[in-house]
Amino acid sequence: MTETAEAIVVGLGASGGIIAEQLTKAGIRVLALDKGPVHTTEEFTFKQDEVKYYSRGSLVPQLATDPVTWRPDDKSTARLLPWAAGVRGNSEPLHLPPSIGPGGGTLHWGGAAWRHRDADFRMKTLIEERFGPDALDADSTMVDWPIGYDDLEPYYDRVEWELGVSGQAGNVKGAPNPEGNPYESPRERGFPMPPLRTAPADDRFKAACQRLGYRPFQQPAAVASTDYKSLKGCEYCGFCHGFLCHVNAKQSSRITSVEAALQTGNLEIRSNSRAFRLDRDPSGRRITGVSYFDADGNVHQVRSNLVVVACYALENSRLLLASGINANGQVGRNFMTHSFGWCSLVLPEFSNPFMAPLVAASVVDDLNCDGVPDNDEGVLWGSVLTSIPGDLQPIEAAHNLPPGMRRWGQGFKDWFSENYRRLMGIHNQVPSFPSKKYYCDLDPVVKDKFGQPALRITHDWSAHDLAALKYFEKVKRSIAEEMGATQFWSEPTPPAYHLSTHEVGTHRMGENPSDSVVDIYGESHECEGLYVVGGGQFPTLSGYNPTQTLQALAYLSADRILDKV
């Protein structure tokens, strides 16, 4: 007899955790399938282990079990992600899909907790108003969002207060506070926790930025500065981004929403359970359940007329395509990601970069969104610019050395022993624009060990991406000089990777069923009762990190589902 569930949630990450919590609290019995293992808090007591979490990427899906292929254009043959494949291993787990198991991407994340600005929802309109109707490429598929900042404000508020975010508000109901972000769109209230203590070199960054006329403020962080609900105050151990928290200071759905859902008694989690098909009725217009493999590869089928697919922009689109749910051909289109402009500095005094979370840092937001000044490079849209003074262990640091320096021998040993304690980073992230040229589909050849087709990514860095990297590199260099850095260098351009854990857009939301995949609540246009949620819904990527916006969207989806049942 086929098993039946009241609701199925596939993937218990940032979005799936929130929706599972809201549904179970309303009395709905939820079956959650997650392809990763259940991580216990005990497992992370001794997480101060760079080999396990960085070098061996033990939280993230590996290419051997979860193949993903990439090619720069549709004339090329895709191959397993070349920046992560091979005997040397990934070396940088953050250029693979995000961590798996209950908690999902909020297991490994750094906790940058951004609301979008009002402008982010109207990127296309603002770019065309400012630079003319031909400013975007002919291949552009950019659209404005079908919702605006005001629609999401109450849901951003819920993320901050229900899950926990620390920070200093810059604009409460229109009243500016110079300690906070001068550019943030108005919020109904401030943060539930004050900002974190910043990492050692951050003061130097902030002072230099102020001298240059910028208005730096502290990064809002999904890391608790004090005990708050299920979170404990941060201990500043420095093993944060890519690691798990040993005191539960970092907000993760594993300890917030998933834990709350479990406490209702209405959530059953099946870990190591890999959904491979979304089942529909004969008309194809109604969801009827999910088929999955258990850890041993046995096939199971669970029936349900409410299915929430929340396993990241990439796997969401792969699952839709593998299930044949793509009548209008829009699934997998509009792939977007961030190029990271990592820059490194050597400072004249000890920066001790191994302390504090990644987000215990200041931010310059003067050049983000439509605030990017007129420029010769042709940059149409800006980016947040962040100090990275902490959370850097020695193995990772050795992977980011000044170009041209020999990476071995006495000179390398001298340089690294002398300078590891003086390192610091400055970072920005250029949002790629949606284009007909950049998309995901099913790889025609590569399959996983269960015979399921791998996702194939077709993406290259555009002229605009490279122009923006160049523009921001100049800005960062000027800040580094003002800081008195003795050395400054940037990661190679164009970036070798095409995944940043900030992939979005692949199941775009919109009001028109012919040119989008889901509605603003994440419900499939094609298949009733099927919700496909997460960053894949985004019509455009912002210069900010995407997580808090997809968390806000998850609350919106949950409200809608509860209205309808």
Partner 1 sequence: MPATNEATKVSWLFLTETEAETVDAVSARIFPSGDGKPGARETRVITYIDKTTADEDEALRRCYRDGVEALNALTSEQYGQRFAELPEERQDEVLERIEASTAPESTRTPEGPEDEGLLATFFALVWEHTIQGMFCDPQYGGNHEALGWQLVGFPGAQWGYNAEQMRAGFDSKTIPIKTLEDLRRELKRADD
Q: What is the binding site for partner 1 (CB under 8 A)?
A: 45-46, 48-51, 55, 64, 82, 85-89, 91, 197, 199-201, 203-204, 234-238, 246-247, 349-352, 354-356, 393-395, 398-399, 407-410, 412-413, 416-417, 420-421
**Tokens of residue 348, six digits:** 């004249």
Tokens of 270: 């099946």
Angle, CA 40 vertex, CA 35 and CA 42 arms, to 5°? 150
| Nearest approach, Cβ of residue 196 and partner 1 (Å) | 11
Minimum gap (Å) between residue 80 Cβ and partner 1: 10
Local structure of residue 54 (DSSP, 8 states):
I
d(CA 381, CA 373): 9
Based on CB atoms, which residue is closest to partner 1, 5 or 355? 355
Residue with smaller CB distance to partner 1, 420 or 472 = 420
CB nearer to partner 1: pick between 207 and 262: 207
> Is the Cα dihedral 483, 488, 493, 499 positive or negative?
negative
Amino acid sitting at position 527:
C
Cβ proximity to partner 1: between 16 and 357 the closer is 357
Best CA proximity match to 529, nearest among 5, 7, 4:
7
Q: What is the residue type of 66?
A: D
CB of 202 to partner 1, least distance (A): 8
CB of 210 to partner 1, least distance (A): 16
Give the Cβ contact number of residue 119 at 10 Å.
20
- What is the layout of strands, in order, in the sheet containing 274-280? 3-4, 299-303, 287-293, 274-280
Shortest spacing between CB 89 and partner 1, in angstroms: 7
3-class SS at 202? Answer: helix
CB of 453: closest distance to partner 1 in angstroms?
22
Rounded to a whole number of angstroms, the CA Rg of the chain reads 22
Shortest distance in whole angstroms from residue 347 CB to partner 1: 8
Euclidean distance between the first and the last CA atom of the chain, given in angstroms as a whole number: 25
Nearer to partner 1 among residue 326 and residue 419 (C-beta): 419
Structure tokens belonging to residue 524: 């499939």
C-alpha dist (Å) from residue 497 to 166, 447, 545: 31, 21, 18
Nearer to partner 1, 110 or 289 (CB): 110
Tokens in use for 173?
A: 């109901």
CB nearer to partner 1: give 54 or 149.
54
Task: Considering the complex, state which of residue 297 and residue 394 has its C-beta at the smaller distance from partner 1.
Answer: 394
Give me the least distance between CB of 56 and partner 1, in Å please.
9
d(CA 291, CA 302) in angstroms, rounded, equals 6
Helix (H, G, I), strand (E, B) or coil at 295: coil
| Residue number with CB closer to partner 1 (130 or 399) | 399
As beta bridge partners, residue 59 has: none
DSSP 52: I
173 sits in the region (left: phi over 0; alpha: psi -120 to 50; else beta) called left
Question: Taking the complex as a whole, how short is the minimal distance between the CB of residue 58 and partner 1, in angstroms?
Answer: 13
Q: What number of other Cβ atoms are within 10 A of residue 466's Cβ?
A: 16
Between 2 and 486, name the residue whose CB sits nearer to partner 1. Answer: 486
Least separation in angstroms between residue 46's CB and partner 1 is: 5
